[in-house]
Amino acid sequence: MVNVRHALLAVALLLGRFTASAEVVQIDGVWYDIQVWYMTAEVTAPPDGTPYAGTVVIPTMVNYDGMEYKVVAIADAAFRGSKGVTSVSLPDSLVSIGDAAFEGCISIDSIVLPSTVNTIGDYAFCYCSNLDYCAISDRVASIERHTFKGCTKLRKVRLGRGLKEIAVNAFSDCQSLEMVICRSPMPPKCRGEIFSTLTYVRAKLAVPTSAHAQYRKAIGWSGFYIPHDASE
């Protein structure tokens, strides 16, 4: 009976070590929330509030305390207000981008999401006023509220095949938008007003040829001019 108690105590201590071992550490200039139990890491904001700056390269794996952890997420507000960040390289291991993750990063001019990303939070790229181009991966099913709101220099956006719906104001105040490429074979559902009125006047919409008729009738899409196929 004593041996059983000792064994149970050892297991409890081991579990406690792992569940309590979520640590925030800095590795090569980037802060990570290390999840020991899941062997994963999440990019997070610096604890002292100092914003990131310059070129940020996020690797697929990070080494901490002799162990390798896969980088799977950008935490909520991780880069919010980092006005000095000029570019961010995202790893192929990335699965999710949190709410307001890059809000107000006014020096980033383009972002290409890895094909592994399937979730983008509210306000994720809101007020990235220098952003010129963004490509959304095919695994993203929903673009949330205000995701690109206030990206005043955004000229071109490429939406993936898996997109099913877009939330209100996702592209509001994007007055420079010239081209929207949507590769989804069916028009994504628009939950409220998605684009500014000026976008319908200035921008062209490229969609798969087989879906032209559906887009021309769909709420939120019918106001666009559709000149050619999205696969070009």
DSSP 90: P
Residue pair 201/178 in contact (Cβ under 8 Å)? The answer is: no
The token pair that represents 94 in the structure block: 């990335």
Residue pair 60/91 in contact (Cβ under 8 Å)? The answer is: yes
Rounded mean pLDDT of 175-194? 95
Cα-to-chain-centroid distance, residue 221: 23
Q: Give the model's pLDDT for residue 17.
A: 44
For residues 157 and 231, which has the higher predicted lDDT (pLDDT)? 157
Tens digit of pLDDT for each residue in 151-176?
999 999 999 999 999 999 999 999 99
Q: Is 109 helix (H, G, I), strand (E, B) or coil?
A: coil
Q: Please give the Cα distance from 92 to 58 (Å, whole number).
A: 10
Please give the share of the chain, as a percent, with pLDDT higher than 70.
88
State yes or no: pLDDT of 114 exceeds 50: yes
Q: Give the model's pLDDT for residue 225.
A: 85
Please give the share of the chain, as a percent, with pLDDT higher than 90.
85
Residue 145's CB is within 10 A of a number of other CB atoms, namely 19
Q: Which domains are seen in the chain, by residue range?
A: 24-217 (3.80.10.10)
Task: Specify the length of the chain in residues.
Answer: 232
Rounded mean pLDDT of 190-219? 93
State yes or no: pLDDT of 192 exceeds 50: yes
* Residue type (1 letter), 227: P
